[in-house]
Amino acid sequence: MNIVILDGVLFIASVLLIVGLRKLSNPDSASNGNRLAAVALGLGVLVALVYPVETQNNNYLYIAFGIVVGGFIGIISAKKVPMTAMPEMVSLFNGFGGLSAALISLVWMVNYHFSGEATELGIVLLNLFLGLVAFIGSMVAYGKLSGRLKDHHLKIPFNKVLNIIILLVTVGLIVVFSFNGYLSTPQTILFIVLSLFYGITFVAPIGGADMPVVIASLNALTGITAAISGIITDNKLMLLGGVLVGSSGIILTLLMCKAMNRSVLSVFFGNFSATKGAENQVEGNAKEISASNLAIQLAYSQRVCIIPGYGMAVAQAQKIVKELEENLENKDVEFKYAIHPVAGRMPGHMNVLLAEADVSYDKLLDLDEANSYLETTDVAIVVGANDVVNPSALEDPSSKIYGMPILKLSKTNNVIVLKRSMNPGYAGIQNPLFFKDNTKMLFGDAKKSIEIILKELKDV
């Protein structure tokens, strides 16, 4: 096929990809944007299959097999994954993207007999390193998110120092091997092992509350490897897609770091959640409220605000919360949602949940807007959130989340916390909010509790 036509198709695919990614920024157009981006990448795959290359090994059977098997696994996974497991799925898919980039580098090295010009070999080795870090780091993140890996399974002595040493050694090896212009088999194996080990030590010390930050940073790494892979394979669409994903991932990482009050350097050297001392003990008696009493309180309120967290995803309560919104608005009650940037276990987790329930984007308040709104709110209902409303971040210098911006509920008239029990949140620390004078607890499954509230509201 004429190479001019193929380049034209790639140009069209590039435009579709940019437009598709732009549409992802708005919940109303996100679905169409996702379809456009999928079409763009599908065109890119087709062009890559027929694009002229220096050698032709007739590997179409293997390629077709990979497309069919991979497509089948992807479709089944996407259809079956529950909303609670979305962060784990994102980690898995992100990890396989990094692995793909690493394999592209390995194939290049095999084809060129592990030798090349200094610049070429340096780029390939850098891509191999970043791809393997993104892969194994995402697998560790998946293990943590799914509960298969606990923090005590991954305790590494002198982790921060070890991270710096491994990173410096690996960068040094890239420079040495590049100028030598050649790698032996043992050197290649050593480089791969060091890269994988750094990926483990990079993610191992990360605490639960910081997981959205590491997902964003690993996503940025995968985007960067895709861009470098586009340079290696001379694939313009892959280069463009990688640049877009990598740059957006970096921006998201910076936003997540700001939301968690973490420095960017702590991301790369694995210094998350370093506890500053013994946590202050939380003492007091939590006060309970019944669903019927809460229903009466809501019916006679002027402003109600929902603060969602991972517990809402577990209970699958987003649609019943939407019903509560509609019911109260019919009673002329103003209803909003306060969204913390790192609520849940991945960036945008709560936004995805609420979008699934057709909650209007205009009702979602960001951190600053929410804190102003909460000062004049009659009832704030915390649905499964814990760490993002924990006043220890402001009051307890010994807390591992100290300094993290939170949703402030100290001036809210009434705070109702929907939880199954008094167990601590993902960060593993107790929440003094539960014992404050303006706070009451409604224990049980969030979805069932709100169903009872809705029934009671009909009689108010």
- Pick the closest to residue 64 from 44, 85, 46, 89 (CA basis): 46
Contact 406, 332 (CB under 8 A): no
358 as an active site residue: the answer is no
Catalytic residue among 387, 396, 437, 459: 387
Give the position of tokens 């410096």: 168
Q: Name every residue whose Cβ is closer than 8 Å to that of residue 89 and which is 6 or more positions away in sequence.
A: 77, 78, 81
Three state DSSP letters for the chain: CCHHHHHHHHHHHHHHHHHHHHHCCCCCCHHHHHHHHHHHHHHHHHHHHHCCCCCCCCCHHHHHHHHHHHHHHHHHHHHHCCHHHHHHHHHHHHHHHHHHHHHHHHHHHHHCCCECCHHHHHHHHHHHHHHHHHHHHHHHHHHHHHCCCCHHHHCCCCHHHHHHHHHHHHHHHHHHHHHHCECCHHHHHHHHHHHHHHHHHHHCCCCHHHHHHHHHHHHHHHHHHHHHHHHHHCCHHHHHHHHHHHHHHHHHHHHHHHHHCCCHHHHHCCCCCCCCCCCCCCCCCCCECCHHHHHHHHHCCCEEEEEECHHHHHHCCHHHHHHHHHHHHCCCCEEEEECCCCCCCCCCHHHHHHHHCCCCHHHEECHHHHHHHHCCCCEEEEECCCHHHCCHHHHCCCCCCCCCCCCCCCCCCEEEEEECCCCCCCCCCCCHHHHCCCEEEEECCHHHHHHHHHHHHCCC
**Cβ 51 vs Cβ 6: under 8 Å:** yes
* CA dist 207 → 102, 275, 391, 401 (Å): 27, 10, 18, 10
Active site residues: 387
